[in-house]
Chain A
Amino acid sequence: MEAASDPPGGGPRPNLTRVRTPRSVGESAIKVLLFVAALISVATTVGIVVSLAAETIEFFSQVGIFEYLLGTKWTPLAGGDQKSFGVLPLISGTLYLTALGLIVAVPLGLGSAVYLAEYASPRARRVIKPVLELLAGIPTIVLGYFALTFITPVLLQGILGIEVQIFNALSAGLALGVLILPVVATLADDSLRAVPASLREGAFGLGASKPQVVLRVVFPAALSGIVAGLVLAASRAIGETVVVLVAGGASANLGIDPRESFQNMAAFIAQTARGDIAAQSVEFLTIFAVGTTLFVMTLILNAISIRFVRRFQQVYE
């Protein structure tokens, strides 16, 4: 803002520069105040990066970075010689559980979205949409409870007769699937509905049947938005803590047998943070090293998702 200046000598001319009045000062002060509030979100990111980085650097001063990234045995809480800091089992466990969740959520979520966007009457929509929102709003601890007390004993061991351990990847993966199904369905529904009606009408005009229009015209046209949604859903599953903590168990497992117990990175962090470990010990620092690994993974996925959304938005502009 420019300060008021005296009119240059000569005749009386109207002063067109802004005058600093109490009111204008108040207006600028408010703007500054609002800007500071907006900076809190930036400070949050900085805070996350700093809090992770400081202790992670400390961690790597005690554990070799290659030992961490390439090691295949993760037993940081074990005593003496048994201690090992290879993070690969945690990473593979995280990806494995996420894959199980996606196997459930992708077909079911996309199927639901296609029905919602292309087939459902407005009345059916008004019923189905809130159900998906309700499912999306279920706290993850409830899904964990569901996995442990229903999916494992009743569905897997009872109805399907699979000999799973009490804590197993299958029930955690199924619960993760239920968790991200509404994410997949809602985002895919949005991108399907964003496809202009003219595309559908054109295809119908050429004599295509409804499934053909949906599968070969509308779905491909919405694909980039759908993929962005899938990436977001995957990053939700990768970062999920409680479902895996409750239903997946506590073993960092490098295998692929879904009947066994698996742990992911977030569940390890939670489990370790709950225990009685001395601050600044190596065990304590693993929380931050694993946190950094998880943060970087979700950041990369989110960047991919944003890129897909950008591409998607360009199509019809």
Chain B
Amino acid sequence: MSVAEAPVARAVVRGASSGARVREILFPAALLMCIAFAMLALVVLLVDVAVDGIPVLSADFLTRFPSQIFPERSGIQSALVGTLLLMAVCAVFIVPVGTATAIYLEEYADNNRWWNRLIEVNIQNLAAVPSIVYGILGLAFLVRGPLELGRVVLAGALTLGLLVLPVVIIVGREAIRAVPSSIREGSMALGATQWQTIWKQILPGALPGIATGVILALSRAIGETAPLIVVGAAAFARFNPNDLTNDPFSALPIQILAWVQDPQDEFRALAAGAILVLLFLLLLMNAGAIYLRNRFEQKW
């Protein structure tokens, strides 16, 4: 490495100076301050939300419907139900599609073919597309346009699904790659076909990793606001969506946004309460991911 050589030579000459020792203490101290700031930001944020939000939390808060006029009679039932439905439908979409794509890219795709390289580069690029752009895609193709689903749960869930699909694929590929090739070869040597090998040997081994990827993806999707705004999720829904393809729907982030933007403090407190519910759901999902990782991870 030519980059490193010259500076080191100079460094040696200066190494003996008296300031060097002071610097050796001050430098890590400054670095530690950076981390302390990051941690402080997280703590202040959580305390801020908790202080505002805990007073409004109650069983009624979870079961009432939102109100634009009466903060004290407001709740998040329709938003919570909407979010849970969105996540369920989203999971039904991303689990098969994401896993299938990961399997294809790891087990079948020949990297010398241009179309396989295209798929790979494309997934990399999709991961960096802003979420609002997915909202535009959902609006143009799912809500209106070819599919014409309307502003319904199915359209919202598919939009979120497309948004987080790269996460499932990338994490899933890593999990499949981690299954040692001796397993594949052993299975093939015993006469199993490629698919039998994948279905009976590789997938069970990669399952904890794939499940972790799905949970990661859903925990990204559950907090996404921007695409749902564009797709047209409703704030202040007075009823739950009973039909995934017909009824308008709300979601927690949309409800939070509507309350945050209300200048009245009482509504801001409701927003904080809803944020706590959202963070609790996130915590549950992450705990699930950690449990899966520790409980089922194979040591090869």
Cβ contact within 8 Å between B34 and A115 = yes
Cβ contact within 8 Å between B226 and A115 = no
Question: With A111-B34, A150-B48, A211-B23 known to touch, is A139 a contact of B132 (CB < 8 Å)?
Answer: no
141-191 of chain B: CB within 8 A of chain A: 141, 144-145, 162, 165-166, 169
Question: With A114-B31, A142-B45 known to touch, is A291 a contact of B128 (CB < 8 Å)?
Answer: no
Sort chain B's interface into a size bin. 35 or more
Cβ contact within 8 Å between B128 and A235 = yes
> From A273, which residue of chain B is reached at the shortest CB distance?
B230
Say what secondary structure dominates the interface of chain B: helix
In the complex, B112 has a CB within 8 A of chain A: no
In the complex, B126 has a CB within 8 A of chain A: yes
In the complex, B88 has a CB within 8 A of chain A: no
Cβ contact within 8 Å between B124 and A306 = yes
In the complex, B212 has a CB within 8 A of chain A: no
Q: Which of A30-38, A65-73, A80-88 is the interface stretch?
A: A30-38
In the complex, B219 has a CB within 8 A of chain A: yes
Q: How far is the CB of A207 from chain B (nearest CB, A)?
A: 5
Cβ contact within 8 Å between A139 and B260 = no
Cβ contact within 8 Å between A142 and B139 = no
Cβ contact within 8 Å between A48 and B129 = yes
Residues of B within 8 A of A220 (CB): 3-4, 7
Q: Which of B63-71, B97-105, B203-211 is the interface stretch?
A: B97-105
In the complex, A17 has a CB within 8 A of chain B: no
The answer for the CA separation of A44 and B3 in the assembled complex, in Å, is: 42
Residues of B within 8 A of A52 (CB): 133, 136, 140
Residues of A within 8 A of B57 (CB): none
Cβ contact within 8 Å between A298 and B130 = yes
The answer for the CA separation of A274 and B256 in the assembled complex, in Å, is: 15
In the complex, B123 has a CB within 8 A of chain A: yes
> From B261, which residue of chain A is reached at the shortest CB distance?
A246
Cβ contact within 8 Å between A141 and B133 = no
Question: With A270-B229, A294-B132 known to touch, is A139 a contact of B278 (CB < 8 Å)?
Answer: yes
Question: With A41-B165, A298-B129 known to touch, is A112 a contact of B260 (CB < 8 Å)?
Answer: no
Hey, what's the 0/1 contact readout for A40-66 against B, CB within 8 Å counting as 1? 111011011001101100000000000
Question: With A40-B165, A238-B130, A295-B129 known to touch, is A288 a contact of B136 (CB < 8 Å)?
Answer: yes
8-66 of chain B: CB within 8 A of chain A: 8-9, 11-12, 14-15, 20, 23-24, 27-28, 30-35, 37-39, 41-42, 44-45, 48-49, 52
Cβ contact within 8 Å between A203 and B130 = no
Residues of B within 8 A of A131 (CB): 38-39, 42
In the complex, B240 has a CB within 8 A of chain A: no
Cβ contact within 8 Å between B104 and A146 = no
Q: How far is the CB of A42 from chain B (nearest CB, A)?
A: 5
Cβ contact within 8 Å between B23 and A209 = yes
Residues of A within 8 A of B224 (CB): 139
Hey, what's the 0/1 contact readout for A233-252 against B, CB within 8 Å counting as 1? 00100111110011000000
Task: Give which listed residue, B37, B169, B225, contacts A41 with CB less than 8 A.
Answer: B169
Question: With A38-B105, A114-B31 known to touch, is A206 a contact of B9 (CB < 8 Å)?
Answer: yes
Cβ contact within 8 Å between B12 and A42 = no
> Which 7 residue pairs spanning A and B have beta carbons closest together?
A239-B130, A139-B223, A111-B34, A51-B140, A37-B100, A241-B226, A115-B31
A residues at B contact (CB < 8 Å): 23-24, 26-27, 30-31, 33-35, 37-42, 44-45, 47-48, 51-52, 54-55, 107-112, 114-116, 119, 128, 131-132, 134-135, 137-146, 148-150, 178, 181-182, 185, 199, 202-203, 206-214, 216-217, 220-221, 232, 235, 238-242, 245-246, 266, 269-270, 273-274, 279, 287-288, 291, 294-295, 298-299, 301-302, 305-306, 315
Q: List 25 A-B contacts (CB under 8 A).
A: A26-B195, A27-B195, A31-B104, A37-B100, A38-B104, A39-B119, A44-B162, A47-B137, A55-B140, A109-B34, A110-B34, A111-B34, A137-B220, A145-B272, A150-B48, A181-B38, A212-B7, A216-B8, A246-B261, A273-B229, A294-B130, A295-B130, A299-B125, A299-B129, A305-B128
